[in-house]
Structure 1
Amino acid sequence: MSKSIKTIVFVDDDKIQHMINRKNMLRLKEDLDLQFFENPYEALKWFESNDADLLILDVNMPEMKGWEFLDQLKQLNKSIEVKMLTSSVDPDDIEISTHYNMVSGFLVKPLKNDIMAEILGI
């Protein structure tokens, strides 16, 4: 990754994953600004007045699918790198992702430390 990542937004309905990801990310790079949202609507509200370097977005959430979230993010004219987060990579999701140029890949839950280090360019 060419630019240094400072602000990462996680949108995932799994609170336990948030706690684990926060601890592990900060262990790798302590000066990160990490924003965690269980509710995608709250995350969209945050994006109305904030920017981030990376969005890690759950594909399947009860309130809205990750794809719907991306559609709404586009309406806010946000250009951000997105990694889709999923518990299993579905070929249909990979196909859908090709319609979103902001999606740069898929991450499988739970996020492992070596994947986090790769994301951070460490």
Structure 2
Amino acid sequence: MKKIVLVDDMEIFNFIMVTSIKNVNPAFTVHDFTDPQQAFESLDELSPDVVFLDLNMPIMDGWSFLERMQERNMQQKVYILTSSTSELDRQRSKEFQNVVQFLVKPVEEELLQEILQDPELV
């Protein structure tokens, strides 16, 4: 079954995403983190199928998270999930091979279902 990691410093956004993911498929395993450093350190152990990553976080932002993934050649699929509507952020996200899509919060449950039913994530 799919393993999902959520990385967002705002607990309420993680709560909303966990609820939405469980509505799509209650069998999915979801690990949510408000501390991006802790989330990054857990990636090897958790080996998620997909990561939903916020950009604007203190200490380590989403860009630093992605750069560290790139440095360590980590291939987990990442969906940026942010409140940023900046075209510059959208363009920058294309520099990272493992970023699948740039999503603006809140993500519609129908879109989330489409993402999580992607056969490439199995």
TM-score clears 0.5: yes
CA distance in 2, matches of 1:116, 1:24: 8
Indicate yes or no: 2:111 matched with 1:115. yes
1:59 — aligned with what? 55
Q: Report the alpha carbon displacement of residue 110 of structure 1 after superposing the two structures with TM.
A: 1.5
Deviating above 4 A after TM superposition, structure 1's stretches of 4 or more consecutive aligned residues are none
Whether the 8 Å CA contact 2:51–2:78 is kept in 1: the answer is yes
Deviations 1:58-91 (A, max 9, x none): 0111122211101112233310111111113211
Amino acid at match of 1:118: E
2:34 — aligned with what? 38
Indicate yes or no: 2:86 matched with 1:90. yes
- Pick from 11, 16, 19: which aligns with 1:15? 11
Identity %: 33
Q: Report the alpha carbon displacement of residue 37 of structure 1 after superposing the two structures with TM.
A: 0.6
Indicate yes or no: 2:74 matched with 1:78. yes
Number of residue equivalences: 118
- Pick from 44, 49, 61: which aligns with 2:45? 49
Q: If the length of structure 2 is used for normalisation, what is the TM-score?
A: 0.88
* Unpaired segments ≥5 residues, structure 2: none
Q: If the length of structure 1 is used for normalisation, what is the TM-score?
A: 0.88
For the residue of structure 2 that corresponds to 1:118, the secondary structure is helix
